[in-house]
C-alpha cells in the first residue's frame, strides 16, 4: 500500500487549510486583541455546568463574584492546558513532517507542517485572552502555571511518542492516540460555544478554533486507521491496547482514575479563588468521591456520554478482530463506569454537534 494513495485525504484537508490559513489573523488574533476583560460583566468563559466544583457545597460557599471567577479560571486552566498540549502536538507534528519529507510524500508532510502554523496561532490567541482574564482577577500567568501541576503530562506525552517514533521510524502511534485528545477537547469546546451566557468575543474565537480542530480531528481519525493498516499483527494489538488505556484516562469532569496531578490542579485553582488550602483539599475529596452530588451535572454527564459514544464508534471502525474491539470498549467503559451502565436520560441535554461554518 503506497503512502501517497492512503494519505490521499490530506489533499482535501490541505485545500480547506489553504483557504483558512490566510484568515488566521482575522479569525484568532484580531478578536483576541479586541477582547477587553473589563466587558466581561456577568459573562461566562466556560460552560456553566462544567465549571469546576459546580453545584458542590464549596460552590455555594463562594460569592457570585467568586463563582464567576472560578468559571473564568476553569477556562484559563483548560485553555492553558490546551495551549500546552497544542505545543506538545506541534513538536510531534513537525517530527512527523520531517520523517515524511525524507521518506514519504512531501505534500502530506506539508499538510502536517501546516497544522503547526495553525496551532501556533491558536496558542497565541489563547494566551492573549488568558493573560487579560488573569489580570482582570489580579493574577498572573505564573500563578496559573504554579497551580496547574498537570501541565507536565504534555511533556511526557511528547517524550513517549518521540521515543516510539524514533524506534519505529514514523509517528503513526502518535496520530492514533491524538484522536481521543481531539474528541475530549471538542466536547468541552462545543459546550462552551453553546453556553448561553458565554462572552460573545471569546465564543467567536472558540468557534473558529472548533472549525480548525474539526479538520485536525479528521487528520487524526484517518491517519490512525491508515497507521493501523500498516502495522503487523503484534504491533496492531499493542497499539489498540495502548489506545484503549489512553482513551480511558482522558475525561471530562471527575473520573475513577483522577490522579495526583489532576488533584493538585483542582485544589490549586480553588486556592487561587481565595479558598484556604485545607478547605480546598476537603472540597476536592468530597467532589471526587461523589459525596454530595453522586451524579454529575446534566451537561457533564452528557459530555461524558458523548465522549464514550465517539470512542465506541471509532473502535467499531477499526479493522481489528472482534475480540480486540470488545477489549478496547471494555477498558474505555471501565473508566467511564458512571455513564457506561446507563443510557442518557431525559434530564441530560442530547449532545449532537452539527458542522460549524464561518
Ligand atoms: Fe488548536
Ligand atoms: Fe489541533
Closest by Cα among 210, 200, 212 to 35: 200
Cα 308 versus chain centre, distance: 14
Q: Which helix (H) or strand (E) holds 80?
A: helix 64-103
Give the alpha-carbon dihedral of 201, 204, 208, 209, to 10 degrees: 60
Question: With bands split at pLDDT 50, 70 and 90, how would you rate the model's confidence at 166?
Answer: confident
On average, the pLDDT of the chain sits at 92
pLDDT confidence of residue 341: 83
- What mean pLDDT comes out for the span 301-328? 95
How far is the centre of ligand 2, averaged over its atoms, from the C-alpha of 218 (Å)? 10
Dihedral pair phi/psi, residue 49, rounded to 5° = -75, -10
For residue 185, report the distance from its CA to the centre of ligand 1, in Å.
10
335: Cα within 13 Å, side-chain hemisphere = 25
How far apart are the CA of 311 and the centre of ligand 2, in A?
A: 18
Which of these, 182, 188, 312, 323, lies nearest to 244 by C-alpha position?
A: 312
pLDDT at 356: 80
Ligand 2 centroid, distance to 139 Cα (angstroms): 28
Is the pLDDT at 4 greater than 90? The verdict is no
Residue 304 has pLDDT above 70, yes or no: yes
CATH, domain 8-340, list 3.40.800.20, 1.10.620.20, 3.40.50.720, 1.10.3720.10: 1.10.620.20
Confidence (pLDDT) at 167: 87
Helix (H/G/I), strand (E/B), else coil: 27: helix
Cross-strand partners of 44: 198
Distance 119 CA to ligand 1 centre (A): 5
Closest-lying ligand to the alpha carbon of 123? 1
User: What confidence score (pLDDT) does residue 5 get?
Assistant: 47
**Quick one: average pLDDT of 87-93?**
95
The residues with which 198 forms a beta bridge, in sequence order, are 44
Q: Average pLDDT, stretch 167-184?
A: 89
What ranges do the domains of the chain cover? 8-340
Q: Which ligand has its closest atom nearest to the C-alpha of 114? A: 2
b or e along 223-236 (b: 16 or more beta carbons within 10 Å of the residue's beta carbon)? bbbbbbeebeeeeb
Residue 141 pLDDT greater than 70, yes or no: yes
The values of phi and psi at residue 44, to 5°, are -100, 165
Cα of 292 vs centre of ligand 1, distance in Å, is 35
pLDDT attached to residue 80: 97
Ligand 2 centroid to residue 20 C-alpha, Å? 14
CB contact at 8 A, 39 and 65: no
What pLDDT shows up at residue 172? 83
Tell me the CA–centroid distance for residue 186 and ligand 2, in Å. Answer: 10
Ligand closest to the CA atom of residue 27: 1
CA of 63 to the centre of ligand 1 (A): 33
Residue 188 near residue 79, CB atoms below 8 Å: no
C-alpha cell of residue 285 = 475529596
Determine the distance separating the centroid of ligand 2 and the alpha carbon of 277, expressed in angstroms: 35
**Which pLDDT score is estimated for 355?**
83
Q: Residue 356 C-alpha to ligand 1 middle, in angstroms?
A: 15
Share of residues in the chain with pLDDT > 90 (%): 75
Least confident range from 35-39, 188-192, 225-229: namely: 225-229
Give bridge partners of residue 127 from the DSSP assignment: none
What pLDDT is attached to residue 3?
A: 46
Distance 209 CA to ligand 1 centre (A): 6
Mean pLDDT of the region 331-340: 92
Distance 289 CA to ligand 2 centre (A): 33
Terminal alpha carbon distance of the chain = 36
Question: Which pLDDT score is estimated for 268?
Answer: 96
Spatial separation of the C-alpha atoms in residues 67 and 74, rounded to whole Å: 10
Q: Is the separation of the CB atoms in 301 and 339 below 8 Å?
A: yes
Asked if pLDDT for residue 187 goes beyond 50, the answer is yes
Under the banding of pLDDT at 50, 70 and 90, the label for residue 297 is very high
Distance 91 CA to ligand 1 centre (A): 13
Cell (9 digits) for 269? 485553582
Distance 223 CA to ligand 2 centre (A): 14
Residues 203-214 pLDDT 10s: 999 999 999 999
Residue 212 neighbours by CB distance under 10 Å: 21
- 176: pLDDT confidence band, cut at 50, 70 and 90? confident
> If DSSP states are collapsed to H, E and C, what string results for 46-57?
CCHHHCCCCCCH
Who's near 298: CB < 8 A, 6+ residues apart? 49, 347, 348, 349
Write out pLDDT tens, residues 230-270: 888 999 999 999 999 999 999 888 887 788 888 999 999 99
Amino acid at each position: 500500500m503506497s503512502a501517497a494513495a492512503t494519505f490521499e485525504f490530506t489533499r482535501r484537508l490541505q485545500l480547506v487549510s489553504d483557504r483558512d490559513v490566510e484568515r488566521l489573523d482575522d479569525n484568532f488574533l484580531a478578536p483576541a486583541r479586541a477582547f477587553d476583560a473589563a466587558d466581561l460583566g456577568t459573562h461566562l468563559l466556560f460552560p456553566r455546568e462544567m465549571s469546576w466544583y459546580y453545584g458542590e457545597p464549596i460552590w455555594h460557599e463562594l460569592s457570585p463574584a467568586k463563582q464567576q471567577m472560578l468559571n473564568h479560571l476553569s477556562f484559563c486552566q483548560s485553555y492553558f492546558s490546551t495551549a500546552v498540549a497544542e505545543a506538545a502536538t506541534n513538536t510531534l507534528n513537525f517530527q512527523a513532517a520531517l520523517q515524511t519529507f525524507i521518506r514519504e510524500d512531501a505534500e502530506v508532510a506539508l499538510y502536517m507542517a501546516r497544522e503547526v502554523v495553525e496551532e501556533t496561532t491558536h496558542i497565541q490567541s489563547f494566551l492573549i485572552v488568558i493573560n487579560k482574564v488573569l489580570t482582570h482577577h489580579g493574577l498572573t500567568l505564573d500563578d496559573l502555571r504554579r497551580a496547574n501541576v498537570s501541565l507536565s503530562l504534555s511533556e511526557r506525552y511528547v517524550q513517549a511518542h518521540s521515543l516510539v517514533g524514533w524506534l519505529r521510524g514514523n509517528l503513526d502511534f502518535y496520530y492514533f492516540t491524538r484522536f481521543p485528545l481531539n474528541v475530549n477537547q471538542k466536547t468541552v469546546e462545543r459546550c462552551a460555544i453553546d453556553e448561553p451566557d458565554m462572552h460573545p468575543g471569546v465564543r467567536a474565537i472558540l468557534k473558529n478554533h472548533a472549525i480548525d480542530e474539526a479538520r485536525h480531528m479528521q487528520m487524526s481519525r484517518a491517519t490512525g486507521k491508515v497507521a493501523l493498516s500498516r502495522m503487523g499483527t503484534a504491533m496492531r494489538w499493542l497499539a489498540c491496547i495502548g489506545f484503549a488505556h489512553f482513551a480511558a484516562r482522558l475525561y471530562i469532569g471527575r473520573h475513577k482514575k483522577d490522579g495526583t496531578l489532576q488533584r493538585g490542579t483542582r485544589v490549586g485553582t480553588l486556592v487561587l479563588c481565595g479558598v484556604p488550602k485545607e478547605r480546598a483539599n476537603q472540597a476536592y475529596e468530597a467532589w471526587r468521591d461523589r459525596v454530595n452530588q453522586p451524579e454529575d451535572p446534566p451537561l457533564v454527564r452528557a459530555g461524558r456520554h458523548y465522549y464514550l459514544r465517539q470512542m465506541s464508534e471509532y473502535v467499531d471502525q477499526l479493522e481489528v478482530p472482534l475480540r480486540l474491539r470488545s477489549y478496547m470498549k471494555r477498558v474505555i467503559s471501565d473508566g467511564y463506569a458512571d455513564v457506561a451502565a446507563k443510557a442518557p436520560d431525559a434530564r441530560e441535554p442530547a449532545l449532537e454537534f452539527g458542522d460549524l461554518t464561518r
